[in-house]
Amino acid sequence: MSTLVRKHILKIDPYEAGKPIEEVKRQLGLKEVIKLASNENSLGVSPKAIAAMKKALPQVNRYPDSSGFYLKRKLAKSLGVAPANIVLGNGSDELIDIIIKTFVEEDEHILTADHTFLEYKIIGSVKGRTVTTVPLKYFKYDLVSLKKKIERNTKLIFIANPNNPTGTYVTKYELEDFLKDLPQGVILVLDEAYDAFIDVDDFPNSLSLIRNKNVIILKTFSKAYGLAGIRLGYAVTKPELAAYMEISRQPFNVNLLAQAAGMAAIEDKAFLQKTRRMVLEGKKYLYDNLKRLGLAYVPSAANFILIDVGKDGVELFREMLKFGVIIRNMRQYGLKNYIRVTIGTKRENERFIKVLKKAL
């Protein structure tokens, strides 16, 4: 059958998602399984978002609002931008796809880092674009090297900030330098999926860049907002770029329940605060215990931690699975002796440490 498929598709290592809880229960006959593999929100869903979705349920015989009018208006207000600055997506994954098909010609290149969010490379490759990567430096995006790699046909640069899977972040000073003489014909995408967990002072205020630079910011409801299953993300950029993205997206890419959930989630400040508190406290607990175990980790600005386990991470992943703890092995990221764990509830973090000890 491989003769039927476009040749570049054959070369792609497809995205390996975090293992679902139900699948592990079924396959291993386990009753109590926890998942700390996909940087989801262990607190659950905002009660306000649940109520809004319930209320919207009887309307799903109708198509969703193609323009996402009310959600955009609410988002714009909360960000201090105009609705015309916003493009909605079926998760920010879809926006990565929309950005590439809107802006990158077949012979133009995409630039990003090694050991970053896999979807930049996978979606770019599926679309037949060349994706060039630059090594991280001390687990961080190296913006100096990244800039040196820009060539005549470089069109798009992806920076995940904070980065997944390392949790490191690019500071406002580094970003300012990087933007200084960035060629006019290059678009920079700042993927800020984890910005809600930031507790440092030197994180860039990316929204201030969209007026004068060709910058597209990506945000998602999948992580801090606890809505990964409903698929909702958005891009913020100058109206001209947003308008081109609007042309290339599918008309009903954001479903009716997602629009309702998103509007309610923005309002639920208490849920976001509670989530932040859980993550910051959990991070401290995990750091302390990893130190106690003599394990090195990368300090994280996000809701997950990259840990050097000193042995094959896939093996450790399988071992922990037997005890009902799903974490992420870093095989596909090319970080062999590492695992990535999402910071969960207090109980989940305790169970993770207990099982990690056993598995080591």
Ligand X SMILES: *Cc1c(COP(=O)(O)O)cnc(C)c1O
Q: Can residue 220 be called a binding residue for ligand X (CB under 6 A)?
A: yes
Window contacting ligand X (CB under 6 A); options: 86-94, 180-188, 259-267, 306-314 = 86-94
Q: Which residues contact 156 (CB under 8 A, 6 or more apart)?
A: 99, 100, 103, 104, 108, 109, 110, 111, 186, 187, 189
Number of residues that bind ligand X (CB under 6 A): 13
Q: Least Å distance between CB 161 and ligand X?
A: 9
Token representation of residue 353: 């440490």
- Assign residue 86 a region: left if phi > 0, alpha if psi is -120 to 50, beta otherwise? beta
Subset of 176-195 contacting ligand X (CB under 6 A): 191, 193
DSSP 164: T
Q: Least Å distance between CB 91 and ligand X?
A: 3
CB-nearer residue toward ligand X: 39 or 154: 39
> Interhelix angle for 47-56 vs 256-267, to 10°?
150
Q: Least Å distance between CB 237 and ligand X?
A: 16
Q: Which of 42, 46, 85, 92 binds ligand X (CB under 6 A)?
A: 92
Q: Can residue 215 be called a binding residue for ligand X (CB under 6 A)?
A: no
Token representation of residue 187: 């678009």
Q: Which of 24, 34, 100, 160 binds ligand X (CB under 6 A)?
A: 160
CB-nearer residue toward ligand X: 40 or 353: 40
Residue in the structure block whose two tokens are 């476009």:
6
Window contacting ligand X (CB under 6 A); options: 15-23, 87-95, 181-189, 338-346 = 87-95
Q: Least Å distance between CB 16 and ligand X?
A: 14
Alpha-carbon distance of 315 to 327, in angstroms, equals 12
* Sign of the torsion formed by the C-alpha atoms of 16, 19, 24 and 25: negative
Q: Can residue 97 be called a binding residue for ligand X (CB under 6 A)?
A: no
How big is the CA angle at 253 (ends 247 and 259), to the nearest 5 degrees?
120
The residues binding ligand X (CB under 6 A) are 39, 91-93, 117, 160, 164, 191, 193, 220, 222, 228, 233
